[in-house]
Amino acid sequence: MAYTTIDKPTDYFETNLHTGTGSTHNITSLDFAPDFVWLKSRTQGGTGYNGMHYLFDTIRGATKRVRANDNSAEATSSASLTAFNSDGYTLGTDEIVNKSGDSYVGWSWLGGGTASSNSNGSITSSVSASTTSGFSIVSYTGTGANATVGHGLGVAPKMIHIKNRTTARGWISGHESIGWTKNLYLDGTNAEDTRSDTFNNTSPTSSVFSIGSSVGVNENTDSMIAYCFAEKQGYSKFGSYTGNGSASDGVFIYTGFKPAFVMVKRTDSTANWQILDNKRNTYNPWNTALFPDTSEPDTTDYSTDHLSNGFKLRVTTTSRNGSGASYIYMAFAENPFVTSTGVPATAR
C-alpha cells in the first residue's frame, strides 16, 4: 500500500498571507476551491473586532461568520468574505478581514463542495465532506436530547469542533487523545473538562458522532455547525505528547510529514491554544504563534523546528513544553515524509 494517497497537500489545505487593501480583494493563490476559511489579522489585537478570528464556510454561505475566540452566535458581515471562488475567495471592504495596510493570515481547507443531506444519524445533517483528505463541514439542528449526527467521512474523525450558530454559546472541541468523555473549549484556555453531555461519552464511528444534551452542541431548535477531521497518513495527524521542559532538546513529535500547520493545546492545565504555520515562518525555528482563544496579534518566542517527518520543540514555555505536561495537537502537511512513489521529503 502506498505511504500516502496525497502527494500534494496544497490541493486540500493551504495557508495564505495577504495585506489588506480596504477595497474588494480577490485571494487567488490557492490550488483548490475552499469550503472552510479561517481568517485572522496578524496586526490587530486587544478588544476590537478587527483582531478576532473569523471563520467562514460554504454550508453557512459567504458573509456568514462565527468567531473562534468568543462565544458569539453567527452573524452576517456583508462586506467580509463575500464569495468562495475556484482558486480562493473574495474579501470585501470590512476592516475585520481587509483593513488597508494590515497583515492577515488565512487557513483554508477543501471540503466536498455543495452540501448533501445525510441521514446516518438520528438527526439529519447537511454535509460537505472530502473523504480523501478527511475533512467535513456538518450543519444540523439541535433537539436537546442525546443523538447521533452523520459526518460523511467514511472513517471516524479524531477531532471535532462544534459551535452553536443561533445562541451565544462556547465552542466544544473533542479530540481522540483525551477521549470522548471529555472536551476542550476552542474559545477558552480551560483544561480538559469531563462531561457526559457533550459527546455523550461515546467515540465517533465511521458514519456518525454522538452528542448529548449540552446547549453547546445540541440546544433544542438551534442551528449547529461542526468541523470534523479524520487522520490521513502523510497528510494530517491528531495526537498527543508529554512536554519535557527543555529548550535545547525538547520533545520530538512524529507526524509522518513536513508540517505546514500545527495547532497545540495543553490539556492538564489552563493554557492558550497556539497555531504555527509555514507561511508566517518560512525557516526554522518557527516562533510566531496566534491564539485561537484570544484576539492577540502575532506573538513570538514559541520556537519549534519543523522537520521532514514532524516537529521538535525548542522552548520551555509551559503552554507548549512544560515538564510532564500533557498536550494535544492537530497538524497538516506541507509535504509527506514519503510520497506515493517513494520519494522522501527534505527537512528545512
Same domain, 14 and 85: yes
Q: Does one domain contain both 218 and 310?
A: no
The fraction of the chain above a pLDDT of 90, given in percent, is 93
What is the reported pLDDT for 341?
63
Note whether 175 and 131 are same-domain residues: yes
Is residue 289 one of the residues assigned to a domain?
A: yes
Euclidean distance between CA atoms 12 and 276, whole angstroms: 18
Residue 14 lies in a domain: yes
Angle, CA 281 vertex, CA 277 and CA 285 arms, to 5°: 100
Q: Go through 93-102 and write b for each residue having 16 or more CB atoms within 10 A of its CB, e for each that does not.
A: bbbbbbbeeb
- Greater confidence (335 vs 348) lies with 335
At 46 the three-state DSSP class reads coil
The C-alpha cell that represents 234 in the structure block = 502523510
Q: How many domains does the chain have?
A: 3
In angstroms and rounded to an integer, the radius of gyration of the C-alpha atoms of the chain is: 19
pLDDT at residue 2 above 60?
Answer: no
10 Å Cβ neighbour count for 169? 21
Alpha carbons 332 and 345: distance in angstroms, whole number: 14
pLDDT at residue 41 above 80? yes
Tell me the per-residue pLDDT of 274-312, one tens digit each, with 9 for 90 and over: 999 999 999 999 999 999 999 999 999 889 999 999 999
- Kindly state the DSSP code that residue 10 receives in the 8-state scheme: G
Within-domain flag for 218: yes
Q: Is 346 contained in some domain?
A: no
The proportion of the chain whose per-residue pLDDT surpasses 70, expressed as a percent, equals: 96
Helix (H) or strand (E) holding 306: strand 299-307
159 & 79 share domain: no
CA distance 271 to 108: 25
Clarify whether residues 167 and 90 are in a common domain: no
Q: Are residues 164 and 220 in the same domain?
A: yes
pLDDT of 5 > 90? The answer is: no
CA dihedral over 186, 174, 133, 321, signed as positive or negative = positive
- Is 214 found in the same domain as 180? yes
Sequence-distant (6+) residues with CB within 8 A of 249 are: none
178: which residues sit within 8 A by CB, 6+ positions away? 184, 192, 240, 267, 328
Structure confidence at residue 301 (pLDDT) = 82
| Residue 222 and residue 120 share a domain | yes
Q: What is the pLDDT of residues 254-272, one digit of tens each?
A: 999 999 999 999 999 999 9
Q: What is the pLDDT of residues 93-137, one digit of tens each?
A: 999 999 999 999 999 999 999 999 999 999 999 999 999 999 999
Q: Which domain holds residue 138?
A: 116-229
How confident is the model over 49-101, as pLDDT tens digits? Answer: 999 999 999 999 999 999 999 999 999 999 999 999 999 999 999 999 999 99
- Asked if the model's pLDDT at residue 348 lies above 60, the reply is no
- Which phi-psi region, left, alpha or beta, contains residue 176 (left: φ > 0; alpha: ψ -120 to 50)? alpha
The C-alpha cell at 16 is 495564505
For position 4, what pLDDT does the model report? 82
List phi, psi (to 5°) of 212. -100, -150
Is 345 contained in some domain? no
- Residue 287 domain flag: yes
Q: How far apart are the first and last CA of the chain?
A: 28
Nearest to 275 by CA among 297, 258, 256: 297
Rounded CA-CA distance 318/288 in Å is: 16
Residue 1: predicted pLDDT: 42
Q: Taking 70 as the threshold, does the pLDDT of residue 273 lie above it?
A: yes
Of 186, 212, 229, which closes a domain?
229
Q: Do residues 101 and 173 share a domain? A: no
Query: Which of residues 202, 229, 256 is at a domain's end?
Result: 229
Please tell me whether residues 324 and 264 are part of one structural domain: yes
Give Cβ neighbours of residue 234 (< 8 Å, ≥ 6 apart).
Answer: 3, 4, 5, 6, 256, 257, 333, 336, 337, 338, 339
Domain boundary among 63, 87, 109: 109
Residue 343 resides in a domain: no
Any domain includes 268: yes
Are both 200 and 251 inside the same structural domain? Answer: no
Closest-CA residue to 315 (of 247, 245, 244, 263): 247
- With H, G, I as helix, E, B as strand and everything else as coil, classify residue 217: helix
Find the CATH number of the domain harbouring 25: 2.60.320
